Structure 1
Amino acid sequence: MIKKITFIVCLICVFNSNAQEPVSIQLSEKDGLPDKEFYNIIEDDKGFVWLCADKGFFRYDGKHFVNYSNQQQRGLSVFGVKQDASGKIWCNNISGQFFYVKDNRLELFIDLSEELKGELAEFEILDSNLLVFSRSFILTVDIKNKKYIKKTENKNKLGSPFKIDDTFFVEDNNIILNLESNFNLAPLFEIGGSLLNKSSKYKRGKSRFFKVGTSVFFNQNLNDKNVFFQLDLDAKVAKPIYELNNISNERIYDYFENNNEIWIATNSGVWIYKLIHGKLNFVKRIFSSLNVSKIIKDSADNYWFTTLNNGVHVVPNIAIEISDVSIKDANITALDKVNDSVVAYGTTKGNVGFYNVVTNKNTRITLPTKDRVSAIKFYHSYNKLLIGKDINGYVLDYDSGKIEKIGQFQTVKSICILENNTLLYTDYYRVGLIKEGKFNNRPIFISRNKRTYASHYNLKTKETLIAYVDELKVFDTLWKSKTIRYKDKPIFVKTISQTSDGTIWVGTFKDGIYGIKDNKVSYHFSTSNGLTSNNIQKIKGNTDELWIASDNSIQLLSAKTKTFKTLTKREGVLSYDITGIEVFNNKVYFSSSNGLFSIISANSFKNQNPEVYFNAFKINDTDTSLTDKYKLDYDKNTIEIGFNVNGFLFNHKGTYQYRLKGLNDSWFMTTTGVNFVKYNGLPAGNYTFEVKPFLENFKNNSAIKSLNFSIKNPFWKTWWFLLGIIVCSISLITYYLRKKIKTKEKEREAQLEKISLEKELLTINLMALRSQMNPHFIFNSLNSIQDLVLKEDTETSYDYIVLFANLIRNTLTYSNQDFITVDQELEFLEVYLRLEKLRFGDSFNYTISYKGEKDLYIPSMMIQPFLENALVHGLLHKEGQKKLNVSFEYKEDYLHCVIIDNGVGRKRAEAIRKRQGNHHESFALSAINKRLTILNKRFDQNIGYVIEDLNDEHGGAIGTKVILTMPNKKSL
């Protein structure tokens, strides 16, 4: 050990703690923990954890805390909890009430408040009786009729009961008694000695028994001081023991037997003693700052510690412990073994330390510079610690404590000792050799200008392996090199170690682990064949085993069987940022960014076989009682199935694989923390839901749990409904076909009528054409043009010939069209009236006006016959000025044409017609009437015309007014 330190080195502290703390998880409010003051705890045979707390009685299923209470309960606090042989959970309170859990409710069994008078009694459950142990009596209560059948009284103060096999023992005033089958107390023997003076001046606490292996011990508290005896119940003797004197002043709450050890829960933590050759030997004390009230180990080997002031602490792996290294040294960057009891470490703050794994004492040394320690190596031949730092290098003499600065070892990546005490070191760009401890001599450089990561010396082959940034090389004794490749590709190595069979193991950045023999790769492990990650942080060989630290676990590889064991943070691993691994007998130490921790290799790996069970079945979002099989109606097809694994933190670390056979045979995975599956709108059929727990990085050997249910076909899929549907369908099809035939006949008749109407309309159009092309009008127009020619009015005659030609052309064109635009109609009428003005002369004037949309289509050649009628019958016989006004207006989806003339009127025109002997009805109007009739039928529109006589105030005729309502394509 270090005997003295020079003035350059400052010995900061030597820690006197004599134990390593287990890695524990404190349950808190964020985990749903309902209280911080707990008195008792058990795990039942289904894996539920029951907790007695100041605020009530709770059950924990690994995910939720459920409160159990009763309306008749006086006070919230519950203290005792037990499970009987039938699996029923019991508890009691300080008010003398005893409860049991039935159908997920807390039922009051019996109220013994009158008998106990506020005393918190202990109790035991037999097959048919409840035994209640008071300080002065024992009550035997018949469970069936809920009445006590016997009261075994005692004059003094009974201690806590203790059961061995089927016999209960208690202590009364230094006398050991046993409870007989008839519930009488029978004295066995007296505990003698001055330690248990019967004088009344002694204040006596409640005595307790505890057992380790087959040895039985007794504890009594006299005047707040604990005394202990070892009992031989067969020989009926007791002898005082003194091995537990260091807890003589502690308040003891509980004794927990564990693997030939007794764990004593006290107000100053847990004191652990091991029984060796019949004698209790102190092992360690843990949780010294906690007031521990109860200890249990659950079925998954998690240790639970309830406290009176700090909630519940759970140790998922008792084999993983935190070393007592100062917080200042928590971020450890390098680790190396000094001897069989000491490990050296370096930190990010530039310090080094020595930790004794036997005494658990830590010595921290501050170096002159604060730059990070990058590598350390203990030089056994010279008993010195070599320290590589980012800026400077140092050598620390382990015996004297003297420290020496050296020029090498700047940004050192690795240091190894070769044959003849030659040092090899690698840094960020060189590989150097220093011979026989001459640290300040100029090194011999093997390579330059190439970054390195690790090095290793093989004692068997005398070869040196160096991991460069881009390749792995092996050097012989003459420093000739050879590159080791895998499948003709380089290997990018981060860490190197060796197992006893001579295999060199290298861990890589992203390709897992390679096993090298005779400078060739013999093994390759990755996530495809056992590793949990291909990103390796550190490896360390120990005999035929290889410890592997990756970025998500710590694994142990057997070099013989090539099988893996795995530890993760859920099993208590402190950190994955591992910077060093060293092996000491049965313990392996890991340095990390969170400090130094150890793993007891033999006990650290658990069997991971969680058991799943169903805890909910909802139909259409309504809870239903759980059974093995369900038969559901067709409309009850939204199913939610809940499941769970009891035990500590499974639902925080594990997931579930599930499938619904009958819907899909493929397995699916839940997300972490989700323990239910919901199916919406399942079709009719038979289903089997299967689920199994899944822990990443562990082989799944857990049993599959299944649940069956079926959904009936809806009534419309039953045979009688389908038969009815077929009959109805045939009837409907027959009816439809008949109706379709009738419709087709009507459509055919309508089509024939339409064809007839179209033929008739065509005929009428030809009739209208003949009307507009009547010889009298043509003859008059040509005479008028002839007069202009004879008068040698060439320009005017030319204009009228053009107008006449346009009129004839448009008449012929429009006669083939049912509809023309309003603009075309207005242009046609303008040409017609200009020609008529040529015939009538200056005495005739006309106007044409239009209000409305220009994109309307109206029946062709519909208006001209009315204009012709006004001219021939009204204006022709008129003396003086002759006027004709034509106006169009579009409103209410109809086009209205109003024609007003100032002619002689219809009566006088009729009289003139008769006087002239003209008995022929107007051919044009006759055609128009027939045409309007056809259009009304075709378009189902109310169209037509009205003729009104215009009279003055004396009743004399002053003209005629025609109002014509026409269809248009926009309104049809």
Structure 2
Amino acid sequence: MKHKKLHSTIIFTLLIWGFFSVHTIFLKKSESIVKKGIAFFMLLFTFTISFAQKYTNYTTKNGLPSNHIYTILQDSDDFIWFLTDKGMVKFNGNNFKVFTTKQGLPNNDAWDGFTTPDSKLWYLSKASKLGYIENDSVHSFPNNDDEKIINPIFSSQIGNNVYPTGPKNTYKLINGKWEVQEFNKTKIIDKTIIYNKKISQISINFKQDTLNIINKKNTIIKQIAVRNLLKHLSVRGQITDSLFTWVSEKEYLILNLNTLKLKNFLFKDEIGLETVKHARINLINNKLQITGAGFVGFLDDKLHIKDPFYFPSELKSHFALIDKNNAIWFATFSNGVYKLPYVKRTVSYSLNNQKTGRLSVTNNGIYTTCFNKGFYKMDTVTNKFNLFLKEEEFPFRVKEIKELNTVFFPSNYKLRYFKNKKLTTVDYRKSGEFLNGVANQLIYHNTNLYSIFAFGVNKLNTKTFTIEKEYLQSGCNYLFAFNNQLLIATNNGLKELKNDRIIDVKLNNNHFNKSILSLNKISSHQFLINTDGFGSYISNFNTITQLPNSEFLTVENAFIDTNDIWLATNEGILKYTKIKETYKFIKKLNSNNGLPSNIVNDILIRKNKIIASTNNGIVILPKDQENISQFLTIYLENANYNNQKITGENSTFNYKNDNTITFSVSSINFDENVSKLNYNYKLSPVQKNWINTTSTTINFTDLPPNNYNLELEAQGITKNYTFRITPLWYQHTISKIGISLLILVFLSFLLLKIRNRELAKKTAKLNTQKQLAEYELHALRSQMNPHFVFNSLNAIQYYITKNEIELSEKYLVRFSRLIRKFFDFSRDKFITLEQEISLLKNYLEVEKMRFGKDFNYKFNIDKTLNLNEQKIPTMLLQPIVENAVNHGLFHNEGKGLIKIEFLKNPLHDFVVKISDNGVGLKKAKEIRENSIKTHISKSSEIIQNRIELLNQSKAWFITYSIQELQNSTGTIVQLTFTNNE
């Protein structure tokens, strides 16, 4: 921010005051003379103060579109507006928002305006369209009279209504257009429409020099002689429903529309100024303000000017506004805007932009230093510091030692001193010795004169001031005489010069090793320790206590004022007051209180004034200066729901999945050093507790339908913003109940179906188990086929009758072994391939003995099969082999052959192929059809049904196929087995 410093001096102020005081006693001829004298004194005195005040300057470099400022306004939402020849500017203390023709203005040359209670800023310019700005949107309305140019130089505002008025016409906004209310001017009569319950208009008769007041019945109810008063008044208008004003360079007149009284006030009587250019009266923040080139003030209940503030002509300001915090804003035609906070009105500055050093008080004045410039002395009349001794090296703190009747002005290698009104210089470089500085600070202790420098302490001769002895100690900062001790503040804690030795000093029996910058005496038993980056401490050697709120501060020095302690820190001035033996933190003064810099190098309290030396010069301010915050409010800059703007008129939105709500938070804060906005927020009803943040953006996602209230809080100010998310049709309560009932019915139906399905499964499983048992019994019966048994017994009888005892015994043994295996394996659901092959071999051996040489069989077993581990369902293959024997080979005239193969298959566990060289399927069918037997074999159907049941159990997956070999030379049955367990 650009700062412009304006300074002046007072000449003969006290003489002038005395002059007018005497005249008020002896020249009581006229009350106006006394008033003029006091006004003139106040003018001169205020000019003097004003010249020494520090203004903040805003120009195009900061964001203004132009440095040509017509007027300044403050709206009902507390924003400051600048009206320029290049557009209008809305300012919140940090950001400039510019409105031009790009945003919708009819032209950029907006030279006046009104703020209304309904948060609108009405703009006035010479154009065919006029309107207002609301919620950062420009609204403009055309002239109903063929868009003729409106020249609203005498406009009025009453409440929320604005009436642009030109030299001839008054306009009123009706149905979105400006309509002429009256053609009101003739050569001798000037009429103006009035918006009042009783008065309809006023007219000036220039020929009769009268002001006529006309009621609603168009009757003159009062006539006032004006004697040329209104002929030269340049600004006029109705500013409330009961006041009408005229203003010229010399005077202002106010007509009370209720009492019908006209009052006339001369500027020379009110503020001591003969003329005031650009004078005008404005209604600002519900108060009447009057301003012009050189001053700004308020009108009291009797319409006199009160509390005028005079600003210097160097500002070249033609208009000023006092805002809600009593800060003053100044408009210029060439250099933008100036701002003067209220706290700076009673503050004076000196040595601006100079880093000033330690302050010193002597019998003949107050001194400070400037690097590479010299020693400066304070003029107690002007409060300015003037150069006293030039010093281009490092000037150090001025020190008066009364015991030696000498005032010292030390620098890096020289020591200049006044004694007996004579200035003497000691140049230590002439001694020829290498020096690291001589006297950064001087102190008289126990009849000895000591000086400190960066690497130790010097003992100086009290007459010649030459160095008598040097005590080396690195990092020395300050010498301090406390009772009978000479203490040294160093970068490594507290030391003491004792018996020509520098020793450590313990505090509370511990070594205090923090970097100490200075020491101050509080009482006979307490002293203050000021550190570099660790705050200040109070100690009596036995105890040490830190001052609250000083933690991690760099404290250059302090001033003890009876029961008060004032700290000069890198964050401003801190005040502490002793309450019941304990020092309590009272307040902090910084740039918001008028300090030119928050880095304070030293401080003095003199006659209820604070004199502070800073990195940006000297400041003198009242001791009771309060911290008046320029923070006005917190507000939402933008609010969006899924890229739809949330406003007061548009705050209801339909719910959307994964919605996003974004709030941009800002503030109106005209403090000098605006830091990040620290605030709390809470979104009800989803958040119960406040959330603290410095982020300017708040985001919420996927908010459900509800009514929401966003609360913002900062510095005790709370704002509420409401919006609503409406539910979709299925999110309404009735819809939810209906959907819930449907879901309940559906679930009940589904559970019923599942239950029935489980019952069906259970029943089917029982039936399957029953059928399996039946098929197994049937398989057992089929394996014990009566024909097979009968044939076997006949074969045994045949061998016996033929006296072939051995063959009959052999046949009987094999037959009995086969029957036993049938019964043994029938107990198991599954057997190994080895057991199955053994069963089949036994069966085929029995059949071979029956058929003799006409029957043979062959096994082909894959060696990769693990016969002992691989399982197969019990009694599944034997009926198939028996079918091959009985239906395939039995009717064959040649030699019969049964071939059984067990093969490994990559897609299944194994494959079984059973083939015969019998008559084939077709021939076997013909034989069965021509047979006289009544028994119909169902073995193939039973086998297939059993396979289906096994597959349904999910434990096995078995495929079964039977086909005839080529040329009807036999049949082949193929089964594939996959075990799913």
**Which TM class, normalised by the smaller chain length?**
0.5 to 0.7
CA contact (8 A) 1:167 1:179 kept: yes
After TM superposition, give the deviation of residue 79 of structure 1 in Å: 1.8
- Could you say which residue in structure 2 is the equivalent of 1:513? 536
- Distance (whole Å) between structure 1 residues aligned to residue 7 and residue 196 of structure 2: 58
Match of 2:321 in 1: 296
What is the match of residue 469 of structure 2? 443
Which residue type is aligned with residue 567 of structure 2? Answer: I
- Is contact 2:548-2:585 (8 Å) kept? no
**CA-CA distance at 1:95 after TM superposition:** 5.5
Count residues with an aligned counterpart: 818
Match of 1:600 in 2: 621
Number of the residue aligned with 2:301: none
The 3-state SS of whatever aligns with 1:749 is: helix
In the other structure, the counterpart of 2:969 is: 958
Amino acid at match of 2:275: N
Q: 1:78 maps to what in 2?
A: 110
- The one of 575, 600, 621 equivalent to 1:556 is 575
Structure 1 residues 753 and 919, CA, compared in 2 at 3 Å: closer, same or farther?
closer
CA displacement at 1:217 relative to structure 2 = 1.4
Give the conservation status (yes or no) of the 8 Å contact 1:335–1:346. Answer: no
Deviation at 1:424, TM superposition (A): 3.6
State the distance in 2 between where 1:811 and 1:307 align: 123
Q: How many angstroms apart in 2 are the aligned matches of 1:133 and 1:862?
A: 117
Distance 1:581 1:453, change over 3 A: same
Amino acid at match of 2:232: L
- Cα gap change, 1:324 to 1:377, in 2 (>3 Å): closer
The structure-2 alpha-carbon separation of the partners of 1:58 and 1:924, relative to structure 1 and needing over 3 Å to count, comes to: same
1:96, 1:339 → 2: CA distance?
72
Equivalent runs, 1:357-436 vs 2, <5 Å: 358-362=383-387, 367=392, 373=394, 376-378=397-399, 381-388=405-412, 393-397=413-417, 402=425, 404-405=427-428, 410=436, 415-419=441-445, 422-426=448-452, 430-436=456-462
Residues 59 and 65, structure 1, Cα contact 8 Å, conserved in 2: yes
d(CA) in 1 for partners of 2:706, 2:117: 43
Cα deviation digits, residues 236-294 of structure 1 (max 9, x gap): xxxxxxxxxxxxxxxx955335996753465xx32xxxxxxxxxxxxxxxxxxxx6454
The letter for the 2-side match of 1:554 is I
Q: Relative to 1, partners in 2 of residues 1:714 and 1:582: Cα closer, same or farther, differing over 3 Å?
A: same
RMSD: 6.7
Distance 1:852 1:25 in 2: 101
Deviation per CA, 1:654-696, whole angstroms, max 9, x where unpaired?
A: 422344576555333231645x7868636868x87654323xx
Please say if residues 413 and 452 of structure 1, whose CA atoms lie closer than 8 Å, have aligned partners that are also in contact.
no
In the other structure, the counterpart of 2:559 is 541
Measure how far apart 1:565 and its partner are.
1.8
Other structure's SS at 1:526 match: coil
Q: Please name the residue that 1:457 is paired with.
A: 481
Cα distance change, pair 187–868 in 1 and its aligned pair in 2 (3 A): closer
Q: Is residue 305 of structure 2 the alignment partner of residue 255 of structure 1?
A: no
Greater mean deviation of Cα atoms: 537-546 or 840-849: 840-849
CA 1:871–1:479 in structure 2 vs 1: closer, same or farther (change >3 Å)?
same
The alpha-carbon deviation at position 547 of structure 1 amounts to 2.7
CA contact (8 A) 2:194 2:202 kept: yes
**Residue 218 of structure 1: which of 274, 278, 301 is its match?**
274
The CA deviation string for residues 78-97 of structure 1, in whole angstroms up to 9 with x for no partner, is: 22345579997555335598
8 Å CA contact 1:658, 1:690 repeated in 2: yes
Q: Counterpart amino acid of 2:415? A: V
Q: State the secondary structure of the residue aligned to 2:273.
A: strand
Instruction: Indicate the SS of the match to 1:436.
Output: coil
The aligned residue for residue 935 of structure 1 is: 950
User: How far apart in 1 are the matches of 2:841 and 2:140?
Assistant: 111
Change (3 A) 1:826 1:160: farther
Distance 1:404 1:759, change over 3 A: farther
Please tell me the residue identity of whatever aligns with 2:619: S
Q: What's the CA shift for 1:346? A: 5.6
Q: CA deviation at 1:541?
A: 0.4
2:60–2:336 Cα contact (<8 Å) kept: no
So what's the TM-score if we normalise by structure 1?
A: 0.63
- For 1:555, give the aligned amino acid: L
Q: Are the aligned partners of 2:152 and 2:164 in contact in 1 as well (CA < 8 Å)?
A: no
Distance 1:869 1:507 in 2: 117
Distance 1:31 1:722 in 2: 57
Determine the C-alpha separation between the residues in 2 that align with 1:742 and 1:617: 61
With over 3 angstroms needed to count, the CA separation of the structure-2 counterparts of 1:924 and 1:36, relative to structure 1, is: same
Whether the aligned pair in 2 keeps the contact of 1:332 and 1:579 (CA below 8 Å) is yes
Whether contact under 8 Å (1:913, 1:919) holds in the other structure is no
* Conserved 8 A contact 1:464-1:476: yes
Residue aligning to 1:246: none
Q: Please give the secondary structure, in 2, of the residue aligned with 1:535.
A: coil
1:107-134 deviations in Å (ceiling 9; x for gaps): 77997999x9998946665789979797
Aligned-residue offset at 1:209: 7.4
Question: Does the 8 Å contact 1:96/1:113 carry over to 2?
Answer: no
Which of 59, 65, 71 in structure 2 is aligned with 1:40? 71
How far the C-alpha of 1:41 sits from its partner, in A, is 0.8
Alignment equivalent of 2:192, drawn from 120, 133, 140:
140
Q: What secondary structure is seen at the aligned counterpart in 1 of 2:275?
A: strand
How far apart in 2 are the matches of 1:911 and 1:110? 112
Amino acid at match of 2:516: K
Superposed CA deviations along residues 743-802 of structure 1, whole A, max 9, x for unmatched, are 45324313422432454466578679989xx9999xx9xxxxxxxxxxxxxxxxxxxxxx
State, as a whole percentage, how many aligned pairs show the same letter. Answer: 17
Q: Is residue 253–residue 265 contact of structure 1 (8 Å, CA) maintained in 2?
A: no
Q: CA deviation at 1:440?
A: 3.4
Q: CA deviation at 1:52?
A: 0.9
User: Could you say which residue in structure 1 is the equivalent of 2:690?
Assistant: 667
Note the C-alpha offset of 1:488: 6.6
Q: What is the Cα deviation at residue 540 of structure 1?
A: 1.8
Kept in 1, the 8 Å contact 2:902–2:910? The answer is no
Shifted more, 706-715 versus 616-625: the winner is 706-715
CA pair 905-307 structure 1, distance change in 2 beyond 3 A: same
Match among 960, 965, 968 for residue 978 of structure 2: 968
Instruction: Assess, with a 3 A threshold, how the Cα gap between structure 1 residues 739 and 61 changes in structure 2: closer, same or farther.
Output: same
Q: Deviations over 1:378-411 (max 9, x none)?
A: 35544332235xxxx4324577585613569737
| Cα distance, 1:387–1:938 mapped onto 2, change above 3 Å | same
Separation in 2 of the partners of 1:682 and 1:487?
A: 64
Q: Is the 8 A contact 2:408 2:416 kept in 1?
A: yes
Structure 2 residue corresponding to 1:748, chosen from 742, 759, 762: 762
Give TM-score, length-normalised by structure 2: 0.63
Shift of 1:735: 5.6
Listed one character per residue, the Cα deviations across residues 419-474 of structure 1 (whole Å, up to 9, x for unaligned) are 367444455564454342654323263xx55654443234xx45444334554467
The aligned amino acid for 1:75 is N
- Counterpart amino acid of residue 931 in structure 1: R
Kept in 1, the 8 Å contact 2:367–2:378? The answer is yes
Q: Is the 8 A contact 1:35 1:55 kept in 2?
A: yes
Q: Hey, what's the Cα distance between the residues in 2 that align with 1:764 and 1:425?
A: 128
Q: Secondary structure at the match of 2:766?
A: helix
Counterpart in 1 of 2:282? none
- Comparing both chains, which one has the higher relative contact order based on Cα–Cα distances under 8 Å and sequence gaps of 6 or more? 1
Contact in 2 for aligned 1:500/1:542 (Cα 8 Å): yes
Shift of 1:506: 2.1
Cα separation, 1, equivalents of 2:610 and 2:938: 125
Q: Residues 811 and 424 (structure 1 numbering): CA distance in 2 closer, same or farther, change over 3 Å?
A: farther
Contact 2:509 2:542 in 1 (8 A): no
Shift of 1:76: 1.6
- Partner residue in 2 for 1:158: 232
Distance 2:660 2:7 in 1: 64
Given that 2:376 and 2:388 are in contact with CA atoms closer than 8 Å, whether structure 1 keeps it comes out as yes
- Distance, in Å, in 2 between the alignment partners of 1:292 and 1:840 is 140
